[in-house]
Structure 1
Amino acid sequence: MKQSKLNNNNKPQPNIGWSGIFVGLLVLILLNSLLFPYVGNQPVKDADYNTFVTAVDKGTVTSVNIKEGRIYYEVAGRKGKQYFRTTEVNDPQLVDRLLKAKSPAKGGHIVFTKQLPQKNSPIVDFFLWWILPGLIFYWIWRAGANKMVKGASGGFLSLGNSGAKVYAESDVKTRFADVAGQDEAKATLKELVDFLHNPRKYTALGARLPKGALLVGPPGTGKTLIARAVAGEAHVPFFSISGSEFVQMFVGMGAAKVRDLFRQAAQKAPCIIFIDEIDAIGKSRDQAMGNDEREQTLNQLLTEMDGFDATKGVVILAATNRPESLDKALLRPGRFDRRIIMELPDLEGRKAIFQVHLKKVKHGNIDLDVVGRATAGSSGADIANIVNEAALRAVRLGKSEVETDDIEESVETVIAGEQKKGAVISPEEKRIISYHELGHAMVAAMQTHSAPVQKITIVPRTSGALGYTMQVDSGEKHLMSKTEMLNQIATLTGGRAAEEVMCHTCTTGASNDIEKATQLARAMITTYGMSDTFGMMQLEQQRYKYLGGASSLTCSQQTAKDIDTEVRDIIRQAHDKAVGIIKAHEPEMNAAAKILLSKETITGDEFMNVLKSYEKDKE
């Protein structure tokens, strides 16, 4: 996207000019005269004192001039006159030596002179060393202060410029059609667009334009994209700036940037201001903060939001992943009147996002239902990356268009990395890996309320995974029951159970399974209230749920110890259940392992066919 001429940062920088060139040449001339002195057109060469005395005694020196601790002398020789200089030393016999020396070129005597050092008066020294530097520093301070107050851009010490990227209404090409999977957010923002187009329809009833809307959600859900779409639909200038750009080293500079931003917006109204990652300046003002610059910047932002007239059509959109860290004064009505939640898209939303991004690539008949279910939990940015990886794979394979299998493989590439085709794994390790992955699949297949197995592979990936079992729910799920969570923990322990039962060993391959099982069991007790001992008691406080959900216990040490005991019991019971399932289906495990070792990758249908064939034999 091309940047508009409205951007104040695009002003041409001032030229150096002839005065700057003249000063530069003058400095070069002075340095050259100090470092490389000349007499006429002859350079003055450096010599040591012994060479000078030897030349005097030989009678080749014609003139000597002692000045400021240096001796300059002229030598007459076959090559003509040459000029030298040496350092003056404490030689009491130098004057007598020069008076007695003979120089045939000068009538038998050396022309000898000595200049006395000249000293400035105390008044001149005081001016040069005290008054002049003080005036220079005062001028620099005044120039910086004026720039900061006026908010001028460019030039020397530009401290007040907001630094916002400004796009004209013709430059913003994004529309609501380019944003998929966020229907609720688009419906809310369409009202803002309609207000900017038809303000009289709302003001006739006394309604006022909301000053601000806060976009909240996980990374990659399209907060910045939908803000640009609002500006594109409204056909108004779009000011875009990151919250971190307001944070400066010196106190007051961030506040000056805020003032300049709103001043520019008032001149271009109606317009939209978008502040990305507003938590960089909008954190709660508490004692732990201790940053005067950030607090002053936040105070200035609050003041500006209260001060501007909403009827002029200036709308502030802000985005953050950490709404719980924002200051309460920033979130109150009259500043950010609306909070728009942009969650991860559901199945229909993911299918719509795939349709948007598939328009940019050549593709055949894509099964959107299959790829939509395979990407549960993916954001819009993840899906864009998956489509791009699928297009790259199609090019590598020499295809003319992207197909469904390209997208399915790109999903695995994004999740687990590229296939390590050159990895060398011993037959015994490959056997253990195959039983490990089949253990997950077997326990999942023998339980109710478990997601169906879609794929089992023992092909190593660049992420470090030596194999994996992919489960895909048949539909979209928004809730998980206690039974489903216990079954999921049992499925996670199925890999280690298969190693113990079928291979009579245990390996490091279950490390990721152990991590996930422990997290899930702990969440059942501390977050979801699924413990018979503690019941519906909050034992853990979750923060930053949109950024992975860091949590901390809110209980005593004894209670924490009891939680650990209960987590251990849940995982142990799930592991015992998995061991029982594996022992009851050893023949099926052996048959499936034989197929998996030969093909390295099997589908969920192939695995279920093995189980169905043994069920028929039992009947």
Structure 2
Amino acid sequence: MPNPEPGKRSRVPWNTRTREWRYVTVPIYMAYCAVAAALRPWNGIERKFIATLVFKDDYYQPIYSQAAQVFAREIWKGSDWETYIFEWSNSPFRHQSLAEKNGRGIFLSPPGYRLTDDERLFSDAVIEIEPRSPEHARAALRRAAIPVDDELVELLISAPWARLHSAFQDRRGPVQGLERLRRETARLKEVESAKILRDDGPTLDDMHGLGPAVEWGRNLAKDLADYKSGLIGWNEVDGGVLLSGPPGIGKTLFATALANSCKVPIIYGSVSKWQEAGALDAHLKAMRASFKQARDNAPSVLFIDEFDTLGKRTASGQNAGYHNGVLAGALELFDGFERREGVVVVAACNQPHLVDVALLRAGRLDRHLELTLPDGPSRRGILKFHTGIELSTADAEMFEFATEGFSGAEIERLVRDARRTARRQADYFSAVHIIDQLPAIEKLPEEYLRVIAFHEAGHALVSYEIGHEVSGITISKWRVSGESRVLGSVDSKPSLVQARTKTTYLDTIAIYLGGIAAEVEVFGSFADGASGSSEADLNRATDLATMVEGTTGMGHTLAVEATGPGEFARMRLYNPELREQVHVLLDSELARTRSIIQRQRPALDALVDRLMANPTMTGQDVVQVLQSNRRSVVSLAKTQLRTGT
């Protein structure tokens, strides 16, 4: 500790009329109080020292930097004091050199910055700064000649530093700055209150394509009703869920519908909005404020968007302390049913693997619901929700095909564009305007469509003969201009759960080759759509054959190579023997598949005739056509086949 010296500065900067103190605003003075208290032992005129002020939270660099300048101005009167205020995380070596040269310096160590041993040794004192207190606020109000009351004190110590800094500019008087701060704080509270949803929005019945999430929401609505009536305790209610899925999938809309169906208010939070509040202390305060608002309106739903940006616990790095502080604050708010009783937290993210596992344990976000892009009927339901229009069968078929891969947000955008077109044309909004907004599509010639029908019918027939359950066939009569898109599909799976042997893999390869076999038998060759892309039939069959021959020990050798699917092409390229074995296996399975097609050609033709008339067939339709037209012969499939009808 330094010894007291003559010349110790004892006066306090109350006088607002002197030039040096004229531009010290209310928040700067509050921060100055904390800095002056920490550096009191070093408060001597022209005394040389280098001190480090460590901030755990409640830090805002522009404010504290100016507060430290005020302190330096008083003790280093003959010096260029502005060059002696530094932040450790900002070019520390250059700043150390300046401080060492002049023997003077005040370093600020922000939250999350981990001082090195050398930096601690370099400093004459390392002092932890206390957060702003009611006493600091009262002192600042007295200095500004503003009557002190508890409401103003609470406002000054609860508002984020960044907001205080913006309100109290040196070009404004303190009363004017305080009034602006009051008005803005009141406005923000009104905005937050307005975000508490009323019961005139969508409900879970309006949600389409969200599957298990909607079912979970309906169960939650029943549980909350029982909780509100006292039939069950809060520990029997799901208090937290993580929703994940691609952007625009409808996570926010789902949370809104959930709150409406549960008949409870919803409070919207966002990790990015919390971060915008300022440094760590402001970030944590914003987060706590959202949870408090949810508790004040309990039972309620607290929706937290962009949850995957909250961060993970990290062992090292310059920002490790900051991220760990944020996560620790979040865990404290999430922990325990009693602490947030009545608050259902719905967290939404695009990348769930970035969420810290500590947030996903039981009692916090103990359920994860993955939302996927809506299927065709779900997309029609979303369209009807936004427009009230029921498409005709022909229009619905075009709409489903053209919007394949669309999210709910993209369908909503399409509707906006269609409404705008109708307004520009001074026309009554109808399905015509919706169809006009679809991506440009062209109808396939009947000859082309027949090739697709035979290809998909071949997959279905081989799947059925091998013993798989076929749940449906779909072909498209259109294609999107300029896009390469799948024009048909067959849904099938094994009828029984069984161990995967070589026979299992060969059966799967045969199913992959079913479409090619049908095209070859009927047209003499197959089209290039069956190969080329990684998801094409022949590519998938080739990779699976490579796995059988090269990585499972089920081929010509027991020797295996541990590798991933992406390495199959490399294995074939650098191992000619393996490539030949894969070729032999594929050739054998294609011959087997063609034999099935040849023997059951009447069933294949019947499937195609049905598909040409109706491009969508259910599994029941497929089975009925096959059973009515297949021949009762011994199949060459390698598994036991069904007998005839």
Taking structure 2 as the reference length, the TM-score comes to 0.47
Report the TM-score, using the length of structure 1 for normalisation.
Answer: 0.49
